[in-house]
Structure 1
Amino acid sequence: MWSINRFPIAWLLPALLPVAFITIYPIAHALWTSLHQVMILFPVEPFVGLDNYKRVVTSDYFLDALRNSLLFTAIAAPSVVILGVAIALFLQRRFFGSQVIRSIVLLPWVLPGAISAVLWVWVFHPSFGVLNGLLLNLGLIDESIPWLTSPKLALYAVVVAHVWTQIPFAVVLVMAALASINSEVLEAGEIDCRSPYKRFRHIVFPEIKAMVVVLLVYNALTAFTSYDLVYAMTGGGPGTATTLLSFQIWRESFSMYDFGAGSAVAFIVVLISAVLIIAITRALPSDLFAKEEAS
């Protein structure tokens, strides 16, 4: 006799089927689009195989966009994790006004990307930006620095804005990991190890390293697929200085109206993201999650 206990998956089907449909169908349709010549001005959609991928990879912008995306990720992801851990360690301490500071630190998390971009454009604006005004008043510079219009500086300005928006999430997760550490272990560490650096390295970090790795992988993917800040702050310029692969997806699809090429770029981004995940996880020590599995 059929029993629900023999097929527990049946309990999940009402929830899994809608999720699978709204996930698998768009991915399958995007893959189909990447293999066809889909342009909004032409109703015919002939099959072109891998021609879209070939056109994308051999295009003038691809190498620049790939280099910018990898550099953006290499700077942003570790910066978010390092600053997130440092701020979380600071906020774990009890001091006057700590609750207020925690609320302020979380503020960038609730702001939409477009609003964050407007704030940072105001900070980095070459003519009336807050940063240039501060540096000029302090006498550190003699003339305004073109943060967003210089090909050498624009990408780093966008990285700063991206890191600012992602730090709150890292702080929340690291604080949760710190809160789960046994207080007796911390008290013993304070007695046995006077150096804050050694105490963090030998006692605190082993307890939160799994969370740190998760954050590193998450932020690598977030940085590599970042789009909204780039679009709102620089529009991919000046030139191709801040053109990322994720931004190029929008440009091919909604500026050039070549949805086949846009979908091809999207799947290239997915493939490179998968390679990044594998590379990061392979570089980790094999016993990283041993404690979590044992518990």
Structure 2
Amino acid sequence: MIIDDATMLCIGLPTGVRAEILPYGATLHSLKVPDRAGTLKNVLVGLPNPAAYQRQRSFRGATIGRFANRITEARFTLDGERYELSANESPNCLHGGADGFDRRKWEVVAHWMSALTLRLESPDGDQGFPGELSIEADFALTPPATLSITYRATVTRACPVSITSHGFYNLADGGQIGDHLLQISAQHYLPVDDARLPESTPQTVSGTEFDFREERPLLHGEGTGYDHCFCLEPSESLREVAVLYAPETGREMRVSSDQPGLQLYTDAQSGMPSGVCLEPQSWPDAPNHPDFPNAILRPGEAYLNRMRFAFSTREK
């Protein structure tokens, strides 16, 4: 079932916890969870209405693919064949190219009270990527206040695949996010160059502004914010990888993932409340780094990315 781009689909729980998802871009538009006083408010920084997502490409809440993050010079070589991609952040490819999955009409497969499944078919050669790719995105709410997002995909030819949800979270009812406290279970991160591409092998977080092994305030690194991948321990099952907490409202968000990387991105655009993105995904530019965790999906294999955002509150 393909519905109008402007239709917002809702899933919710009897407690009032509620998510709004736009089929355009499989976009998570809003998510209402309680603060320590029990007041339900939206914790996502999105655009004002469905039409705005089509006018302005912001990636806010969108599903990102075929390959999240950046690919150097919009090219890679796989099985001896070179592929040229859409260089939408010239000379590099960002978030799948100029017409990524965030710019597509997704089909509604199923819609229940607390869950939703969307589907997209990406043709061979889409933005330069090889093979046909079929993907489903599952959104589900479970008590007391947990949002689970699952991506499943298959391909007809070998192709780099890394799909994620680009939610901008603010747990303090708007305003800046510098006072949020953050913990990330990572010993290493990937340093980046001026183009935000990996410039070396993983480096230790010890003694750097990237050391979130113990909970600490999320302060902008040198005033420019974060756009870095944290390297997680390998796992085929969900494990907790990050905790975000806003002392002002008492809201806490625990992030679980089965992916090798967690991208931390902090946004501080003027005129809008800032948000923080915690995106489970493959390592950036993995197709051009044989020493990075494998990000190639082959025919007969199934891509799976499961992420869980569990909300609760702390007392003062």
Instruction: Provide the TM-score with structure 2 as the length reference.
Output: 0.22
| Greater share of residues in helix | 1
Q: Larger relative CO (CA 8 A, sep 6+): 1 or 2? A: 1
Instruction: Provide the TM-score with structure 1 as the length reference.
Output: 0.23
Larger Rg: 1
